[in-house]
Structure 1
Amino acid sequence: MFGTIDVFKFLISFFLIFPIATIIHLSGHIFFVTLFGGSEKKMIIGCGNKLFAFWKIEIRKFYFWNGACEFKMLKYDNRFTNMLIYIGGALFNLISMIVVNRLTQIGIFKESVFTSQFIYFSFYVLFFSLFPMSFQNGSPSDGKAAVLAFKKQHDDKITDDIQIKIKDGEASD
């Protein structure tokens, strides 16, 4: 059954664990953008109006919902590097799931609703980022963009959570 304590656990999971899974996902994209010489990188956590920014991270009003990465250009720009950038977020989610699961198995982390919710939300982010589909605005999921990059059919490098800066302060959607 679903009781009062379950509502509390859900709220903690949704407003704390889900954003952590999203940050890990975006970190995967940023890692590969950095590895391949990307310039003017920025991570955007959430959507809505900007609340504040620090370093190269911008926090938006609805921090718990979605996010994006921005960069201007790549030093190493080919279909292989682009594919790694697209799947980098899902790869980081997968690695974090394996690490948390293993640390729980060996007793470093206590098995709890929070570790299971972390794995659940990480899998959720991983699955829907790799699911090959186009979103309502026409941008492809990371998985579809990776396939299109492999086929040399995706030149604009834009997905639901990756944006290319055109000029200062402006990103293409």
Structure 2
Amino acid sequence: MFGISDIPKFLFSFLLVLPLVSIIHQLGHSIMVIFFGGKVDFTIGKGRTILKWRKIKIKSVYFLDSFCVYEKLKYDNRITHAFVYAGGTIANVTSIFIINGLIIADVFSTTLFAYQFVYFSVYYIIFSLLPIRYSETTSSDGRAIYDALRYGHITCNPD
């Protein structure tokens, strides 16, 4: 049962761990865009912009969401776009292996952070890969990968 003593854990999860997993996911997309010669705008959160550095914006409600939007890729084909959309999942899977590897190597201990980080990463992986069209302009990564590979065109930006 959730009680008053669980509030600090909840806040830790909601305000630190979940946003970190989201940022890693979006960094995965961004790294793929840069790797394939594109330009990316990276936004963390919603609300008013509190910090802007080059193409990175941090919004006042930083824990709510994060997303990236990219321009045309230098290497522009079905496969490269599919990799851009898969980049978030690739980054989340990689981060899980890194955390687990550090635990196995006794560099990092099994803490609440480690458990929650892996749980939220798996959550991101599963729900981003479901092939869902949210609206006319927004799709899940799974749907965007499908559209890129099947139709050869991209209908939406990641997340």
Does TM-score exceed 0.5, indicating one fold? yes
**Alpha carbons 1:141, 1:159 under 8 Å: kept:** no
Matched, 1:126 2:116: no
Within a 5 Å distance, the mapping from 1:18-29 to structure 2 comes to 18-29=18-29
**Cα distance in 2 for residues equivalent to 1:124 and 1:65:** 15
Helix, strand or coil: the match of 2:61? strand
TM-score by length of 2: 0.92
C-alpha distance after superposition, 1:51-86 (max 9, x if no partner): 221232101121101111122221111000000000
CA offsets 1:112-132 (integer angstroms, 9 cap, x no match): 111100111111111111111
Unaligned runs of 5+ in 2: none
| Gap regions ≥5 residues in structure 1 | 162-173
**What residue in structure 2 maps to residue 38 of structure 1?**
38
Higher helix share: 2
Shift of 1:159: 3.4
Aligned residues: CA RMSD:
1.6
For 2:78 and 2:84, the matched residues in 1 are separated by 10
Aligned to 1:7: 7
- Is residue 147 of structure 1 aligned with residue 146 of structure 2? yes
Q: Alignment identity in percent?
A: 39
The 5 A counterparts of 1:13-162 are 13-39=13-39, 41-136=40-135, 138-152=137-151, 154-156=153-155, 158-159=156-157, 161=159
Q: Which amino acid aligns with 2:86?
A: I
- Structure 2 Cα separation of the partners of residues 136 and 33 of structure 1: 23
Give the distance between the partners of 1:57 and 1:138, measured in 2 at CA: 22
TM-score (norm 1): 0.85
Amino acid at match of 1:90: T
